[in-house]
């Protein structure tokens, strides 16, 4: 004879059935569930690979990081959570009637709520519509909302909602925020003990906070492990090892990589739709290495010295690393000021672009001879850094030694206004004092520029003359970087070929990185900018307040940091680009006579003949490119023989005794014809071949 079920069980079953019926009525009265927007989470800034650089607390101070269970969380943690909290999560429609009946039976038997019988869906309902009381009415409301949530969301989306909103003590919400705060890592890889602790905390987050109540947290974690052993989900040996894991006693700070770049990205605005997440081009591994390098070197230089590093990728123009200061929270170093964007004196770092324009104009070659001796340019009399002079040197050597007089002599010939205009054409505008115009002093640092702009200019040398707009943010669609022409390809290659031969600091191998150093007047700024075939890196060292630092020199303070930055990139230096077609590579003695030696305009040995003048073709002319033509007829008046012809800066032979020559165009487009005589005088026209 069978026995009748106890009254408590019958009452529990009746309660569960009635609760479901009442919940159905409540659904009609409550209206739709207040499902949260995916934007109701902390804003996050991530690197190019999706790694978290820096999260931002919500307006009310809570940390609530978005979570996707399938990709962001250790699968074992999810298995443990479901086994402990909601074994039939994937089967029930939001409410587990068996669990609800059990909870009702416990309530009937004990006269109080022992277990709530809540599913994860019901808990999610409570989290999005929190109410303080624990009552039958509140439970009915949760049941109704759970049915609505199940109707509106998929099971994975409900799990994500719970993992994003679950409380973990204090201002921590969601498993990502808890894992970062308590373990200092993302929840993608958790130990069994860590997973058990994170399962236990949301049940009573304030009384089990490990940073305040470690004993309570340990007991709660161990109860989870014990139940999993009884259920057969965890072996006794694994559980024993998990119990031996220490409980975290302190909360860790949230990740803080690339804080200046992250601040800038947030200030520029979040995406208009979807999760408030900004993706930067920064590589988190490189950024971490550069930040450590900056801290180590700044500590060695002194408590008032700051340091900034910027690394970019040539092909894309993407910023791979941006260190605005050694320590974001160091007030003495003005750590929250981004020194990669601060306007400072560039010292000698603009010299390569003076030489580049001189190469482009065709009046010097890297192997041309140039004098380094005392010289005045009106009222301006530049001196070398060490107050000594080298005499006659090659242009190559003058740039590698960063000699001041040759650089100013070339700038005098190129024109300070033209250099400034060419830099502006490439997207870089120099800062000048009010009502000042570019002058010869700009070649030695008499202007203002940012590290960001300097790195962009040096990146143009690596790209053979094209300056690419730098990109901090990604996610705007795959596109080619916006580029502007700085100097022609041959001149850019020649500058890079010179700079790669600059003697490196003691911590580096030669002929690996093309680089230039600079020191501003009064030892206020030390610079080193360099590039290989893949990446350009710039380093600035100095005091943020602009105070002088005696002995602060680019070669000793900034160059070692530059080479360390390349070394810590984890990749071998890539070779520079090959010389473009038509590049003249020759020793001094084999150069055309006008290119063998540079003389300042005021010291040219002039003959009685006038300077050369191109009679034909006229500048701006359009010339049809006929297939049977032997070339473009070039006719010149004046000048002292021999006279050299240059096509787009490349020697193309000499004029005959009639001062004429047929010149073959390199192809359709603009062609620059230059004629230079034995005195160094020249005339240039630009024509269009069509």
546-561 residue pLDDT tens? 999 999 999 999 999 9
The tens digit of pLDDT for each residue in 612-628 reads 999 999 988 988 876 54
Catalytic residue among 348, 368, 402, 520: 348
* More confident: 18 or 223: 223
When pLDDT is cut at 50, 70 and 90, the band that residue 99 belongs to is low
Task: Point out which residues pair with 277 in neighbouring strands.
Answer: 44
Task: Judge whether 58 and 64 are in contact, CB under 8 Å.
Answer: yes
- Scanning the structure block, which residue is given the tokens 């006008």? 594
Instruction: Give the Cα separation of 244 and 329 in Å (integer).
Output: 36
Catalytic site residue 79?
no
Q: Where are the alpha helices (DSSP H) in 273-370?
A: 284-301, 351-361
Alpha helices by DSSP H, 573-656: 593-596
Is the model's pLDDT at 80 over the cut of 70? yes
Examine the residue annotation and report whether 85 is marked as an active-site residue of this protein: yes
- In whole angstroms, give the CA distance from residue 59 to residue 389: 62
Which residues, in sequence order, are bridge partners of residue 483? Answer: 468
Across the range 373-387, mean pLDDT stands at: 89
Which range is most confident: 260-274, 322-336, 376-390? 322-336
Which stretches does DSSP call E strand in 189-333?
A: 277-279, 306-313, 319-323
Task: Report pLDDT for 11.
Answer: 47
27 pLDDT tier (thresholds 50, 70, 90): low
Looking at the whole model, is its pTM more than 0.85? no
What number is the average pLDDT over the span 262-286? Answer: 90
Asked whether the bond before 453 is cis by omega within 30 degrees of 0, the reply is: no
pLDDT at 275: 77
Task: Tell me how far apart the alpha carbons of residues 360 and 143 are, in angstroms, rounded to a whole number.
Answer: 78
Among 23-32, 89-98, 509-518, the least confident range: 23-32
Confidence at 3, pLDDT banded by 50, 70, 90: very low
**Active-site annotation holder among 42, 85, 318, 420:** 85
Task: Note the pLDDT tens digit of each residue in 234-249.
Answer: 999 999 999 999 999 9
pLDDT level of residue 4 (50, 70, 90 thresholds): very low
- Whether cis (ω within 30° of 0) applies to the bond prior to 363 is no
Q: Which of 551, 555, 559, 562 is nearest to 302 (CA)?
A: 551
């Amino acid at each position: 004879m069978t026995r009748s079920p106890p009254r408590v069980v019958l009452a529990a079953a009746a309660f569960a059935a009635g609760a479901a019926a009442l919940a159905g009525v409540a659904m009609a009265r409550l209206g739709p569930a207040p499902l949260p927007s995916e934007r109701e989470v902390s804003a996050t800034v991530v690197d190019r690979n999706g790694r978290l650089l820096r999260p931002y607390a919500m307006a009310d101070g809570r940390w609530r990081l978005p979570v996707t269970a399938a990709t962001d969380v250790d699968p074992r943690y999810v298995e443990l959570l479901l086994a402990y909290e909601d074994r039939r999560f994937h089967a029930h429609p939001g409410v587990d009637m068996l669990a609800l009946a059990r909870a009702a039976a416990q309530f009937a038997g004990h006269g109080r709520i022992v277990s709530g019988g809540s599913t994860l869906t019901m808990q999610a309902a409570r989290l999005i519509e929190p109410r303080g009381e624990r009552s039958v009415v509140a439970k009915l409301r949760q049941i109704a909302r759970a049915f609505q949530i199940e109707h509106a969301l998929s099971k994975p989306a409900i799990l994500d909602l719970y993992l994003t909103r679950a409380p973990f003590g204090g201002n921590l919400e969601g498993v990502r925020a808890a894992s970062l705060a308590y373990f200092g890592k993302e929840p993608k890889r958790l130990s069994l003990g860590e997973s058990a602790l994170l399962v236990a905390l949301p049940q009573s987050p304030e009384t089990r906070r490990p940073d305040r109540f470690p004993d309570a947290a340990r007991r709660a974690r161990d109860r989870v492990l014990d139940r999993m052993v009884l259920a057969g989900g965890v072996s006794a040996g694994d559980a024993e090892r998990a119990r031996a894991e220490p409980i975290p006693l302190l909360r860790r700070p949230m990740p803080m990589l690339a804080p200046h770049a992250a601040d800038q990205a947030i200030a520029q605005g979040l995406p208009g739709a979807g999760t408030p997440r900004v993706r930067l081009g920064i590589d988190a591994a490189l950024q971490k290495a550069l930040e450590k390098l900056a801290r180590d070197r700044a500590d060695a230089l002194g408590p008032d010295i700051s340091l900034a590093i910027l690394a970019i990728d040539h092909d894309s123009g993407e910023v791979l690393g941006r260190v605005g200061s050694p320590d974001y929270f160091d007030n003495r170093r003005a750590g929250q000021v981004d020194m990669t964007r601060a306007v400072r004196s560039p010292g000698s770092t603009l010299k390569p672009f003076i030489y580049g324009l001189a190469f482009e104009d065709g009046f010097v070659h890297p192997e041309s001879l140039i004098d380094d001796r005392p010289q005045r340019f009106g009222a301006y009399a530049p001196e070398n850094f060490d107050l000594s002079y080298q005499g006659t040197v090659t242009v190559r050597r003058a740039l590698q030694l960063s000699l001041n007089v040759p650089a100013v002599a070339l700038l005098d010939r190129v024109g300070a206004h033209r250099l400034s205009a060419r830099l502006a054409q490439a997207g870089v505008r120099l800062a000048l004092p009010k009502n000042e115009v570019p002058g010869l002093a700009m070649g030695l640092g008499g202007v203002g520029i940012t590290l960001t702009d300097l790195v962009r200019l040096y990146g143009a040398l690596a790209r053979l003359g094209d300056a690419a707009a730098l990109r901090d943010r990604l996610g705007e669609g795959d596109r080619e970087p916006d580029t502007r022409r700085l100097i022609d390809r041959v001149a850019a290659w020649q500058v890079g070929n010179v700079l790669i031969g600059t003697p490196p600091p003691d911590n580096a191998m030669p002929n690996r990185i093309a680089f230039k150093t600079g020191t501003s007047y009064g030892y206020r700024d030390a610079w080193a900018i360099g590039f290989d075939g893949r990446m350009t890196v710039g380093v600035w060292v100095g005091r943020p307040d602009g105070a002088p630092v005696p002995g602060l020199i680019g070669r000793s303070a900034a160059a070692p940091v530059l080479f360390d930055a390349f070394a810590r990139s984890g990749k071998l230096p890539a070779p520079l680009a090959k010389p473009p077609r038509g590049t003249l590579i020759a020793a001094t003695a084999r150069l055309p006579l006008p290119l063998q030696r540079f003389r300042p305009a005021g010291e040219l040995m002039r003959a009685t003949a006038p300077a050369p003048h191109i009679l034909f073709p006229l500048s701006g002319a359009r010339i049809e490119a006929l297939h049977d033509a032997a070339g473009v007829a070039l006719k010149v008046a004046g000048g002292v023989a021999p006279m050299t012809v240059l096509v787009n800066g490349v020697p193309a032979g000499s004029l005959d005794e009639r001062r004429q020559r047929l010149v073959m165009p390199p192809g359709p487009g603009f062609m620059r014809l230059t004629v230079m005589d034995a005195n160094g005088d020249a005339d240039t026209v630009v024509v269009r071949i069509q």
